[in-house]
Amino acid sequence: MRGLTALLLLWPGAALAHGGDAPGWQFDPLVAGPLLGFLTLYLGGLARLGRRAARLAAPAAAWLTGWLVLAGALLSPLHGLGELMFTAHMVEHELVMAVAAPLLVLGRPMAVALWAFPPAARRRIGRGARALRLPWRWLTHPAAATFLHGAAIWLWHVPALFDAVIGHAGLHRAQHLSFLLSALLFWWAMLRRAKPLVAVADLFVTMLHTGLLGTLLVLAPRVLYGVQTAEAARFGLTPLEDQQLAGLVMWVPGGVVYAAAALLLLGRALQRGGRRHAPA
């Protein structure tokens, strides 16, 4: 029941019931500015594409949904609640890495945003992008992207570093940026570059190691994140219970996303294999 109560408290106004002010919407210009900038570029690209944009209806819907999830995670009261409650912080991270990132990748962001620029600027950007082709190929190699995404997750969950983020705006921005960028590279590699069976294997590996980290938080016999869980009593939890519930969020919902993506890609691979071997 305490876990259920804590999840209900993720509703923005619920903190008022526990003697504190409800976190409000966040307007950090270093977060809101880039979000609005990317939205302007994407919508501008769709507008310049005109009738051709109709063929991008599904990718555009995915991208806009991903943008809304990302903006909601980073700017809504959930972000402020994450400073007070480990479980809310973990929900925020899972929304960024496991929900917003794959949706943004499915939206073909680079191709669409490029059309927001005039033809001459598009050509200059295209020429400049050629210099980045080699590092991009390396960063989006399935093995490299899987490693970088996993390294970002494990590094930031070192207790001393994670606790240092609380109340430190610069570190908090760096944490979220590394989670987002590594997740975008990972999902780009899985959905746009890797062969289906390779992507299935990498998704399975990611599900295993994030599940292991979540399990460690659930089963730890003592509080590992003293600063992050210091306000747990405001939400009817002990610090250890807040830590355990946060681990459960990483372990189960996060694992479900990776498993679902792996199953979809496996199904696609089997379907293609069946068509190739079907009798004429």
Query: Tens digit of pLDDT for each residue in 23-77?
Result: 788 888 999 999 999 999 999 999 988 877 778 899 999 999 999 999 999 999 9
Backbone phi, psi, residue 150, to 5°: -65, -40
Q: Is residue 12 part of a domain?
A: no
Q: Is residue 10 part of a domain?
A: no
Q: Is residue 144 part of a domain?
A: yes
Into how many domains does the chain fold? 1
Nearest to 89 by CA among 203, 227, 207: 227
Q: Is residue 2 part of a domain?
A: no
Q: Is residue 159 part of a domain?
A: yes
Tokens of 258: 């990776």
C-alpha span between 67 and 32 (Å, rounded): 12
| Confidence (pTM) | 0.89
Q: Is residue 8 part of a domain?
A: no
56 or 181, which is more confident: 181
Q: What value does the mean pLDDT of the chain take?
A: 89
Q: How many CA atoms lie within 13 A of 199 on its CB side?
A: 25
Q: What is the pLDDT of residues 122-135, one digit of tens each?
A: 888 888 888 888 99
Range of the domain at 145: 20-123+134-275
- Chain-centre distance for alpha carbon 31: 15
Q: Is residue 14 part of a domain?
A: no
Asked if 210 contacts 152 with a C-beta cutoff of 8 angstroms, the reply is no
Q: Is residue 191 part of a domain?
A: yes
C-alpha span between 237 and 231 (Å, rounded): 9
Q: What is the pLDDT of residues 142-160, one digit of tens each?
A: 999 999 999 999 999 999 9
